[in-house]
Amino acid sequence: MLHKNKFALWVKLGLLVLAIALATGCQSSPAPAAGEAAAAEEEPFVVGALHVGAITDAGYNQAHHDGLVKMTENLPNVKLIEAENVPESADAERVMENMIQQGAKLIFPQSFGYLDPALAVAEKHPEVIFMHPAGFKLAKNLGTYWGNNFEAMYLAGIAAGSATKTNKLGFITAFPIPNILASVNAFQLGAKSVKPEVTTTLVFNGAWVDPAKEAAATNALADTGVDVVTMLVDSPITIVKTAEERGIYSIGFHSSALQQFAPKGWLTGVAYTWGDLYTKLTKEVMDGSWKSEHIRGGMESGFLTLADYGPAVTPEVQTLIKEKEEAIIKGELKIFEGPITDNKGTVRIPEGEAGGIELLDSTDWLVEGVIGQTE
């Protein structure tokens, strides 16, 4: 009888343990901490960028690429998708659509000719934000930005005017769009401030990247006595290298990486530094505070700066340029302060008036001293 009672007791204990185990197993596991869950579930924020040329061009495309890379370093949860050598055509729309399929919530269409394709894609995808460089149109989900390159070009003009022996400068670019014309005018005004008799010959190539035309234009300018050449094209390597071969000076544009191609003839360059702006814009899209607007900034914004000087720029000239830069930032120096006459004799800015950053989007004339046309 005692054995039977012990056996029954063991059975009851076993059933009790089993019941407890089953009850425990049916309970939910403790929820992870909120931070752990967020980290586990957080997906990368995808940013797309399409470039009209190669991101190793030591120019326009590399400057934008470097800024985007800086942004990803500042925001580790961002995944960057880039496409190079995208034509300014329907191909741009296809590339942007593909980026959206890959999850892009912010797209940088990095060429002037991408504006209309970007507007078309933006209309179809209101949930995606687009930021276009130097564009002049807005949409609910498309904004624009650009640095006031004419301020830096004025300073570069001082370096050019100080270095020239022939009083003949050259400017090679792609198309007569407002921000380019404003830069040409500022370059001439900067040079004229130290060398009143100087002129700037303007050449349009009709393409952002065309090494053959760029080399031909540089050689043609050198043949006419031009001894300092600058540019506003996407990949300035050809112009700088050709100028070096011809024994004339060069002033770069877009990226400070260009200096390596002209160890003797390099004067300085206008260098864009987009990293901080791209970080700010991406943060705004991520937190929902972004708004559609035209963003324009000058030397004070940090969007651009002057590259290092070459050996031909004397300490005295460097000091002068620094003084003028500080005056521009403080608002004490107005580059387009009237009276200013165009190269056809028409007064464009009367005495007592001054043009400002709005000239980036409205200039359609060339200042006195520029040899060339706007067509």
The domains of the chain, with CATH numbers, are 43-147+275-299 (3.40.50.2300), 149-272+301-371 (3.40.50.2300)
The helix or strand, by DSSP H or E, that contains position 320, with its residue range, turns out to be helix 315-330
Distance CA 179, CA 147 (A): 10
Report the amino acid identity of residue 271: A
Per-residue pLDDT at 41: 58
Regions in the chain scoring below 70 on pLDDT:
1-41
- pLDDT (0 to 100) of residue 75: 98
Position 361 scores a pLDDT of 87
pLDDT at 92: 98
Q: Round to whole Å and give the CA distance between 306 and 303.
A: 11
d(CA 149, CA 248) in angstroms, rounded, equals 23
Residue 19 has what pLDDT? 46
Amino acid 6: pLDDT:
43
Which residues are CB-contacts of 189 (< 8 A; sequence separation ≥ 6)? 154, 157, 335, 336, 340, 367
Distance set, CA 56 to CA 83, 96, 285, 369 (Å): 13, 21, 28, 35
**Mean pLDDT of the residues in the chain:** 91
pTM of the predicted model, to two decimals?
A: 0.83
Helix 149-163, helix 178-194: angle, nearest 10: 40
Predicted local confidence at residue 1, as pLDDT? 42
pLDDT digits (tens, 9 = 90+) for 140-164: 999 999 999 999 999 999 999 999 9
Alpha-carbon distance 186 to 174, whole Å? 17
> CA 276, 277, 278, 283: dihedral to nearest 10 degrees?
90
Q: How high is the pLDDT of residue 31?
A: 47
